[in-house]
C-alpha cells in the first residue's frame, strides 16, 4: 500500500510485488513478478559470485601491476635501455586482459558464497603489498639470468621479459582466485583454455612475422626450460605467500 512507500524507500533493498500500488512499486528497488522468494535467494548467490569474481581480478591486477611497475622503475636504474618498449607494454596489457575475459564465468568456492563480503580497501592493499614483491623478485631474477646466462642485447632482453611477464601474470590467477590450495579449487574450463592460449601466443610471437614490428627476437630453446622452472617456482611462492596472508593478516 501507499503507507509502505517510506519503508521501501529507506530500506537498502526495498522489495515490492507486481500487484502493489504505483507509489510502492516506484519506491521499491526490486519487484517480484511471481509469488516465489527463491528468486531472491538466487539473486543473492549470483551477487556474491559476481563480487567474488570481481575481487579476483582486482587482487590479481593490483598485485601484478604493483610488482611490474616496481620492476620497470628499478630496471631503469641499471639498464642503459628501456626494459620494455611502450608498444610491448600495451601488447602485454592487451593479452593479459584477453586472458581474463572468461573470469566472470569462473567458479566461486562455497565458503565465499556462504556469507556476504564487503568492499575492503585495506584488505586489497595488504594483499598487494604481500604478493606484489614476489612478482618483482622473479622479474629481477629474470633480468639477471637474461644478462648472465644469455648475454642478452636489448631485443633479447625485452623479448625474454615480455614472455616471462605474460606467463607469470596470467597463470597466477589460478593461485589468487581461491583461498584454498591451488589444487583444491577447480577453475572454469574457459578460463583455463583462454589463459593457456594467451601464454602460448606470447611464446610464439617472437617467432612470428610480427616479431620485427613488435621489437621481438627469437628466444633460444634453453630459455623456455628456464622459463618453466621460473613459472613453477613463482606459483609455489605465491601460493605460500597467499596462505601466510590469509592465516596471519586476515585472521589477526
pLDDT (tens digit per residue) in 40-98: 888 889 999 999 999 999 998 888 888 888 888 888 888 889 899 999 999 999 999 99
Rounded-to-5 percentages of helix, strand, coil across the chain: 70, 0, 25
pLDDT of residue 224: 94
Helices (H), 149-220: 154-171, 173-176, 189-204, 211-214
Report the distance separating Cα 44 and Cα 247, nearest Å.
27
**Which DSSP category does 249 fall into?**
I
Query: By CB neighbour count within 10 A (0-12 exposed, 13-18 middle, 19+ buried), where does 121 fall?
Result: exposed
pLDDT at position 250, please?
62
Q: Cell match 628499478: residue? A: 74
Residues 216-225: pLDDT tens digits? 999 999 999 9
- Contact yes or no for 126/249 (Cβ under 8 A): yes
Distance separating alpha carbons of residues 3 and 16, to the nearest angstrom: 13
pLDDT of residue 248: 81
Is the distance from CB of 157 to CB of 223 less than 8 angstroms? Answer: no
Instruction: Return the C-alpha torsion angle 136, 138, 143, 145, nearest 10.
Output: 170
Amino acid at each position: 500500500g501507499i503507507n509502505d512507500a517510506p519503508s521501501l524507500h529507506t530500506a537498502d533493498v526495498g522489495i515490492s510485488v507486481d500487484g502493489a500500488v504505483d507509489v510502492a512499486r516506484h519506491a521499491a528497488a526490486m519487484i517480484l513478478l511471481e509469488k516465489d522468494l527463491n528468486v531472491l535467494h538466487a539473486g543473492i548467490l549470483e551477487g556474491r559470485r559476481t563480487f567474488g569474481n570481481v575481487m579476483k581480478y582486482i587482487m590479481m591486477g593490483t598485485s601484478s601491476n604493483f610488482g611490474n611497475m616496481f620492476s620497470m622503475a628499478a630496471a631503469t636504474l641499471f639498464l642503459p635501455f628501456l626494459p620494455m618498449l611502450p608498444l610491448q607494454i600495451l601488447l602485454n596489457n592487451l593479452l593479459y586482459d584477453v586472458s581474463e575475459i572468461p573470469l566472470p564465468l569462473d567458479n566461486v568456492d562455497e565458503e565465499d558464497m556462504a556469507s556476504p563480503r564487503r568492499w575492503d580497501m585495506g584488505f586489497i592493499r595488504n594483499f598487494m603489498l604481500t604478493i606484489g614483491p614476489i612478482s618483482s623478485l622473479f622479474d629481477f631474477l629474470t633480468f639477471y639470468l637474461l644478462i648472465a646466462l644469455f648475454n642478452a642485447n636489448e631485443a633479447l632482453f625485452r623479448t625474454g621479459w615480455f614472455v616471462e611477464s605474460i606467463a607469470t601474470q596470467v597463470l597466477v590467477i589460478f593461485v589468487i582466485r581461491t583461498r584454498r590450495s591451488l589444487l583444491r579449487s577447480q577453475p572454469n574450463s574457459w578460463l583455463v583454455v583462454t589463459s593457456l592460449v594467451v601464454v602460448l601466443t606470447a611464446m610464439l610471437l617472437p617467432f612470428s612475422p610480427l616479431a620485427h614490428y613488435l621489437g621481438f627476437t627469437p628466444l633460444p630453446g634453453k630459455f623456455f626450460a628456464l622459463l618453466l622452472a621460473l613459472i613453477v617456482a613463482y606459483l609455489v611462492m605465491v601460493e605460500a605467500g597467499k596462505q601466510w596472508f590469509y592465516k596471519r593478516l586476515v585472521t589477526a
